[in-house]
Amino acid sequence: MFFHITNTLGGSVFQGRYLSMFRENLKRFRFGIFPLTIFLLCFHYGAQAQIYDDYIGEGHDVGVSVNTSDETPGNPGQHTLTGKAIITDEFLSSRFLAQATLGYNYGDIIHLADIGVDAWLDEQFATAPYAFIDTYNDLFQEALTIAPGTNPKFEFFQHAFYERIFETEDKLRQKVAFSLSQIFVTAPSIDVLIERGNISAAYYDNLYNSAFGNFRDILLDVSLSPAMGIYLSHYENRKADPVLGTLPDENYAREIMQLFSIGLHELNNNGTYKLDGNGELIPTYDIDDIQELSKVFTGLSAGQKLVGTPNTFGTGVERVNLSQPMIMYEAYHDTGEKIMIDGSIIPAGQSGMTDINQAIDVLYNHPNVGPFIGLRLIQQLVKSNPTPQYLNRVATAFNNNGQGIRGDMKAVVHAILTDPEARDVIWIDDLNSGKLRQPLERITQLFTAFDLTTPSGKYYLRDVHSHNDRVLQDFFKSPSVFNFFSPFYAEKDFVKPAGLVSPEFQILNATTAMHYINLLEESLKVIPFYNYTAPDASGTTMVINTNDNPSFNFTAEINTYNAEGISGLLDRLDLILCHGQLTVPVRNVITNTINLNLANLPDYTADNVVRDAIYYIMITPDYIVLK
């Protein structure tokens, strides 16, 4: 049993893991009595609550038929029980946006409820992309007017990421690009990537621009990216030299198969493993395949020097333009015959780019790609443990978008987000459904939900200090090519015995959980983040600007509280944060805690009530688990 808030036997896998973890480590941390009380009581009451299966509504329609005087095509009366296709429901709109975006506010919920999922998707698919490298360059040029000696560091790319979340409307493309960045993982691993953020921005544009494009383009663009070439060492990878006894580097050849396209074992279209005659898993490739593919990725290097003149193979990375795709240097490419994993042969004597394109085609057309990539994206967007039927439908959309086109990412994203397993409310109560929200997504949701702004309009957030050191996740700085967490990770005490996975739990432990609570409290009650928009004394770097502090806009929440009391406020926050899934026991604990604060704290204002209510909700499983 997994990701289910309540049950008759005493709590879910999620609750059991959290509650035991906090009890064991409580004495190691100090924080206020109210958050401690509410956090533990929420789990306690949730664990004791009763689930009833003999009621009507929220998907319970077995043996019940509905007749209506106004049956609409595609939306029969039965949907009033199942919840399916009731697109005007604000709770369902909120839940959809939690899956499809990195953050949204009340107005976004109302807009989606008004126009429906299909129209919203059409809007998002039609939204024109704006290159991240352009945003990065804009921000760096602005920084130069403040600190003329500052360097074009990686942090300006991170600033661009947050500005785009807070300021632009391409919410779905950003969510898909962010998801792809945790599949096609790279990071600033050497000084040149840290000191020149445009390299990572250019790489991210490959994912962002192809989020609604074709998967083959992603494979090719990633393969030619200097950021990936440096990270996985096929940048200036040379053909074998018998005299020196050197062979091509095999790193990228291995990872493009294992992590980026086909995985380790052959899959059925529904993601289940194929077995041989002995009941064993069937490997997709072996060491010979890696060695053959490594020959393909030889001869690549930067096309230009920084001064704009043509590059020569072997020029140091600090002197070349790494924001443009790598090009082929034929003299360093292995021109011999190469045998691919499907048995096809890349003939000898071809150009290097012809070899690469043929190899990409072999991987792209492998039958594993649909279920492999489909599963990764479902796990990022909707749930950790999709059924084989759900994955089969998504993989089928990858294989053919209905117009004979393979790898259409728009069709894949549409299939994932509109599938019955993503939309029907009956899945909210399914014992294996849901996912743990990533720490970074919790923070971006907080900032967007309550209209965070800064006096300057700049968002120079250094999340490596505020996030990575505390919750083990920041933007685009994964500790390894295997991402912040593995898609195969299963929490050992509760999840693994159930035969399930819980990827995000890999970075959840007593320390990161407490740090998240403290980070959330600081964001709401001290400052959302420190804004690095001031020059230092020498004008060579950006430092914290105390005159440019970010702030939330809680006007609507305060007005709701003043007019409707705690109950009305919690209704609004339940819609925005929990999609109507704030449970009665948790709601009661929050209400009682706030009333206690009102009775005992003379300076406890409406603003304090709102901030505490948000804080309390966002540390409970009703919020942290997306279902």
pLDDT band at 364 (very low <50, low <70, confident <90, very high): very high
How far apart (Å, rounded) are the C-alpha atoms in residues 415 and 610?
Answer: 37
More confident residue, 454 or 20: 454
What's the pLDDT band for 55 if we cut at 50, 70, 90?
very low
User: What integer pLDDT is reported at residue 165 of this predicted model?
Assistant: 94
Judge whether residue 346 has pLDDT over 90. Answer: yes
Closest CA to 521 of 29, 4, 11, 25: 29
Report the Cα 225 to chain-centroid distance in Å.
Answer: 21
pLDDT value, residue 590: 97
Residues 174, 175, 181, 187, CA torsion sign: positive
Return the pLDDT at 467.
78
Q: Is 365's pLDDT higher than 50? A: yes
At 303 the pLDDT is 94
Among 349, 181, 350, 342, residue whose Cα is nearest residue 266: 342
Closest C-alpha among 479, 404, 475, 408 to residue 443: 475
Pairing verdict, β 345-346 and 338-339: antiparallel
> Is residue 265 exposed (0-12), middle (13-18) or buried (19+ Cβ within 10 Å)?
middle
Q: What is the mean pLDDT of the chain?
A: 89
pLDDT digits (tens, 9 = 90+) for 248-267: 999 999 999 999 999 999 99
pLDDT at 4 over 50: no
Residue 431 has a pLDDT of 86
Look at residue 198 in the predicted model and tell me its pLDDT.
Answer: 96
Angle CA(28)–CA(30)–CA(32) in degrees, nearest 5? 150
Q: How confident is the model at residue 65 (pLDDT cuts 50, 70, 90)?
A: low
pLDDT over 90 at 43, yes or no: no
What is the per-residue pLDDT for 81?
Answer: 53
Name the more confident of 298 and 86.
298
Which residues, 6+ apart, have CB-to-CB distance to 474 below 8 Å?
A: 158, 440, 463, 464, 467, 468
Q: Which amino acid is at 331?
A: A
Can you give the pLDDT at residue 453? 97
pLDDT band (50, 70, 90) for residue 44: very low
Least confident of 19-33, 233-247, 382-396, 423-437: 19-33
- What pLDDT, on a 0 to 100 scale, did the predictor assign at position 30? 31
Distance of alpha carbon 140 from its chain centroid, rounded?
A: 26
- Per the model's pLDDT, the better-predicted residue between 19 and 164 turns out to be 164
The reported pLDDT for the residue numbered 42 is 40
Amino acid symbol at 617:
I
* Distance in angstroms between the alpha carbons of the first and the last residue of the chain: 14
Mean pLDDT for 284-295 is 98
Judge residue 604's burial from the number of C-beta atoms within 10 Å of its C-beta, 0-12 exposed, 13-18 middle, 19 or more buried.
middle
Q: Tens digit of pLDDT for each residue in 491-527? A: 999 999 999 999 999 999 999 999 999 999 999 999 9
Q: For a pLDDT cut of 90, what percent of the chain falls above it? A: 83
pLDDT value, residue 268: 98
pTM here is 0.88
Give the model's pLDDT for residue 68. Answer: 58
- In eight-state DSSP terms, residue 543 is E
pLDDT at 51: 37
Q: Which of 79-93, 123-137, 210-224, 560-574 is the least confident region?
A: 79-93
